Structure 1
Amino acid sequence: MSTTESPAARRPGTCPRPEGLPRPDRCLVMGILNVTPDSFSDGGLYARTRQAIDRGLELAAQGADIVDVGGESTRPGARPVAVAEELARTVPVVSELARAGVRVSIDTMHAPVARAAVEAGACLVNDVSGGLADPDMAPAIAAAGVPYVATHWRAPSREMDRHAEYRDVVAEVAAELDARVRQLTAQGIDPARLVLDPGLGFSKRTEHDWTLLAGLGTLRQLGFPLLVGASRKRFIGAALANGGAGDVPPGGRDQATAAVSALAAAAGAFCVRVHDVRASLDAVRMAAAYAAPRS
């Protein structure tokens, strides 16, 4: 871990809040808006611009603190999308939602898309590669001065599962995220605007995901806000199946996702990224109420 002492490291138990984002007394809820034909659970539902805009407005009306617009699937095995296609899918949606007063983030690994989305009104860039997929990303974020989510990432979607090897997944993810922080800040990104994501499902097996959730307290010691993206993922489906529910498809995992949102919020996560906003919003409110008597 970094030897630089962060404000959060000096005050154990505090949850840092990045500049430029809301600061309610609870974990934030980010609503997922996949403007793609091939995302793992809702690909194609919002692939048309008008459908996507309406869905984004719906997520905001349900209480999403941020609506995360993504134009490239990052599910295991997904094929990359040309930047021009990603721009065409996302920028009109970002622009219309921002114009309507919705707080929007852009889910992208590509600097040209990040720049265009910020110009269109996005207030945050959510990069599942943590800046590793595009060397121009960090300078672009530094110039834009917006909050940036850096996810733990080892390889592109088409080969990520081959890199799911760990001796101590919490320690290794923490060390690799810390290395990314050093590199990103050396390239000019303001550490006050950084959010870290342990990358559940990205080069992780089911047991790794659960161990990382249980180790959020250790990851918080890095001194940065944590975003947890568990929604509908394979490790949730596996737990439901092992619990006797059978093979539950991604769209049937929202209640279980809300339970994970409550666990993440109780462990100090800054934000959860979910498909079903209402359920997880209730869940993080319960986590805040649970924590209140001890604060």
Structure 2
Amino acid sequence: MSDFIDKCREDIPLIMGVVNVTPDSFSDGGAYLAADKAIEHGKLLLKEGADILDIGGESTRPNAETVSIEEEIERILPVIEGLAVHAPYISIDTRNAATMQAAIQVGANIVNDVSGLTHDPDAADIVAQSGLPVCIMHMQGNPKTMQNAPTYENVIDEIMAFFEERLEFCSRRNLGSKSIVLDPGIGFGKTLEYNLLIIKNINKFKVFNCPVLLGVSRKSFINSLCDEPNPAGRIFGSISAALYGLENGVDIFRVHDVKETKQAFTVHRAIASAL
């Protein structure tokens, strides 16, 4: 899948559309829990311009309860099977090695692990054996505890150190940097101030020569700034943050609102390239 990493390095960033097959995700929990609804939604996101579909069966919102691996697999398998023939890239959003393996067998061709391959000791081997790209995300704590007063001495330096350690770990496990995407994990163990600093300094993570993924879509930091408790009402804030990322070298954007993000990027690119 080196073609995926090569595609990430092109001038036009990739858009990863979110398909939550969960009852409790923060933005659309329950809307796509039924497989047919999730497949329909995934097809819509592709029509709107998504390059990647990110399919997950376990919510990782703050205070989320864990689900059994069996239930997670039961949720995501029919959705991946239903979308694999339509999507060039399907990412499995999971921390669990067994779920990764099951998803890969039915068509997933990217692994997206919010724990950065720290949660399951078998995860790195599954990814290495598959030869697929993996998204390594930074998170302080775990989904249930991550927003309990997260603190850093220097949030950028600590995320950089985490990425450096993870890249060394991956190298030892036969996962070269040419198959790794880095995600600083907006909202995962971060306060408003930390989130803003990460976005402002997003280009610093390019030093590792890996594609950088940014997930700001509908996140609660927008509510903190704009007093918008309804996640669906945070589209404009999401796009504003994404445009900053676009101007600062982000390669992949994980979004709920594909059509709106694609339109904003198209107009921005047209203005920037006007002669």
Identify if the C-alpha distance between structure 1 residues 216 and 287 changes in structure 2 by more than 3 Å, giving closer, same or farther: farther
In the superposition, the TM-score normalised over structure 2's length comes to: 0.94
Q: In structure 2, how many angstroms separate the alpha carbons of the residues matched to 1:135 and 1:163?
A: 27
**What percent of counterpart residues are identical?**
36
| 8 Å Cα contact 1:18/1:195 also seen in 2 | no
Q: In structure 2, how many angstroms separate the alpha carbons of the residues matched to 1:211 and 1:151?
A: 17
Q: In structure 1, how many angstroms separate the alpha carbons of the residues matched to 2:140 and 2:122?
A: 18
- Read off the aligned partner of 1:288 and give its amino acid letter: R
From 111, 114, 132, the equivalent of 1:125 is 111
| 8 Å Cα contact 2:52/2:87 also seen in 1 | no
For 2:212, the equivalent position in structure 1 comes to 226
Shift of 1:156: 1.4
1:7-18 matched pairs, under 5 angstroms:
none
Shift of 1:18: 5.6
Q: What per-residue deviation string (whole Å, max 9, x for no partner) do you get for residues 159-210 of structure 1? A: 1123611121111111111111111221111211100000001110011001
- Read off the aligned partner of 1:76 and give its amino acid letter: P
| 8 Å Cα contact 1:33/1:67 also seen in 2 | yes
Q: In structure 1, how many angstroms separate the alpha carbons of the residues matched to 2:204 and 2:267?
A: 23
From 138, 150, 160, the equivalent of 2:136 is 150
Give the secondary structure class of the aligned counterpart of 2:208.
coil
Number of residue-to-residue matches in the alignment: 273
For 2:252, the equivalent position in structure 1 comes to 271
For 1:288, the equivalent position in structure 2 comes to 269
From 53, 69, 79, the equivalent of 2:65 is 79
Q: In structure 1, how many angstroms separate the alpha carbons of the residues matched to 2:206 and 2:213?
A: 11
- Read off the aligned partner of 1:187 and give its amino acid letter: R
Worse-superposed segment, 105-114 or 248-257: 248-257
Give the secondary structure class of the aligned counterpart of 2:140.
coil
- Read off the aligned partner of 1:273 and give its amino acid letter: R
Alignment root-mean-square deviation, CA: 1.8
| 8 Å Cα contact 1:154/1:163 also seen in 2 | no
Q: Does 1:164 align with 2:133?
A: no
Q: In structure 2, how many angstroms separate the alpha carbons of the residues matched to 1:53 and 1:156?
A: 29
Shift of 1:100: 3.0
Q: Unpaired segments of 5 or more residues in structure 2? A: none
From 233, 238, 256, the equivalent of 2:237 is 256
